[in-house]
Amino acid sequence: MVPSVDWLLYSFARKEAVMSTQIEGTQATLVDLLAAEASAIESPDLEEVFNYVAALDHARARLNDPNGLPLSRRLLDETHAKLMQGVRGSKSSPGEIRRSQNWIGGTRPGNAIFVPPPPQHLPEVMSALEKYLHAEDEIDPLVRIGLVHVQFETIHPYLDGNGRLGRLLITLLLEHWRILSHPLLYPSLFLKQNRAEYYRRLTAVRAEGDWEGWIQFFLDVLANAADTASTAISELFTIVDEDRARVIESANATVYSIRLFERLPRHPFVNVGRAMELLDTSRPTASRAINALAELGVLESTGERRRDRTHCYARYVERLRSGTDLDS
């Protein structure tokens, strides 16, 4: 439906990053992230989301490079290092398989909800997981992805960041195993909305061997994610198409205002400085382009500041942000 998937990839990758990090307790929303990219705002929570996007981009680039890496422990180590750089857990050996025991819940292994394999067994179990990623198997690939995710989370191979990396692995496998041509699903939205069930199903595999219950839950998550993504793509395309027609038909439209509009899906928050970069033009020309789109109601001001005021592509962002706000 769309002339290019680039703007969808930009938006959906960030939506998945926000939701996956919210599962781990970060307090950043999608709107926070998009606004921060326009204004170079920094915060610890936003850094975790930025790292998730950087880790996904790095892993995809390595997998798609003929001289890159296969899906392997080495690639997971590299991706983990990107994920943990400079954020919570950055002192917990980023990019390295743990050398000490970790646990989930409780204050020590003795009262923990779950204790992953001891560090001396990690080379063996990680090697087995890596071999399974490349083995031929008649099981449906979506089911296999569910098996890989629960196994990775059960191994818990790193001191921190296992949840985020395990969910990122879902995204990578959907593309790597050619189920999708581009990673346009954001399953973490549904995993967050059903977080208690998510954790309960993982625990049931470990404690009771209930693989079937986990797989049914996982496939329901992917089905819901697929339906939601398809609807979102259709509605976002309609919004952009309608607004494009309004801009082009406007008597006040200029070449620069049209060019700026075409960049809004990948840069839905803009100020004059960002518009100057996007259009490679002067401040007055960039300012006029923003004003032209603001007069049409395509852009809306997000603050009281007069100089370098940030504007938002409000209709687009409002549809995109669905489900990404923090729990009240």
CB 298 within 8 A of CB 259: no
Mean predicted confidence (pLDDT) in 118-130 = 97
- Quote the CA–CA distance of 84 and 214 in Å, as a whole number: 28
Nearest by Cα to 16 from 33, 1, 39: 33
Instruction: Identify any residues that bridge with 299 across adjacent strands, giving them in sequence order.
Output: 313
User: Which domains does the chain possess?
Assistant: 229-320 (1.10.10.10)
What average pLDDT does this structure show over 299-328? 84
Instruction: Report the distance separating Cα 239 and Cα 263, nearest Å.
Output: 14
Q: What are the two backbone dihedrals, phi and then psi, of residue 311, each rounded to the nearest 5 degrees?
A: -115, 155
Going by pLDDT thresholds of 50, 70 and 90, the confidence category of residue 59 is: very high
**Tokens of residue 285, six digits:** 């020309």
In this structure, which amino acid lies at residue 92?
A: S
Polymer length in residues for the chain: 328
In the structure, what pLDDT confidence band is assigned to residue 38 with cuts at 50, 70 and 90? confident
Q: 325: pLDDT confidence band, cut at 50, 70 and 90?
A: confident
* pLDDT on residue 302: 86
pLDDT greater than 90 at residue 37: no
d(CA 110, CA 226): 40
Position 323 pLDDT exceeds 90: no
Is 6's pLDDT higher than 90?
Answer: no
Residue of higher predicted confidence among 227 and 304: 227
Cα distances from 244 to residues 3, 214, 237, 238, 269, in angstroms, run 13, 44, 10, 10, 17
Share of residues in the chain with pLDDT > 90 (%): 82
| Prediction pTM value | 0.92
Alpha carbon dihedral 125, 129, 135, 136, in 10-degree steps, equals: 120
Q: How confident is the model over 62-91, as a mean pLDDT?
A: 92
- Residue 111 pLDDT class (50, 70, 90 cuts): very high
State residue 328's pLDDT score. Answer: 47
Residue 70 clears pLDDT 70, i.e. is over it = yes
